[in-house]
Amino acid sequence: VTDLLDWWCKHHCTYPQLSHMALDYLTIPATSIDVEWLFSRGRLLLSHVCSQLSAQSTCALLCLSPGAS
In terms of phi and psi (left: phi > 0; alpha: psi -120 to 50; beta: otherwise), the region of 63 is: alpha
Which are the contacts of 68, defined by CB distance < 8 A and separation ≥ 6? 33, 41, 62
Give the predicted TM-score (pTM) of the model.
Answer: 0.40
Instruction: Check pLDDT > 70 for residue 18.
Output: yes
Q: Where are the domains of the chain?
A: 1-30, 35-64
Per-residue pLDDT band at 17 (split at 50, 70, 90): very high
pLDDT cut 70: percent of the chain above it: 51
Distance CA 68, CA 61 (A): 10
For residue range 33-65, list pLDDT tens digits in order. Answer: 666 666 676 666 556 556 677 778 767 766 766
User: What gap in Å lies between CA 18 and CA 11, rounded to an integer?
Assistant: 10
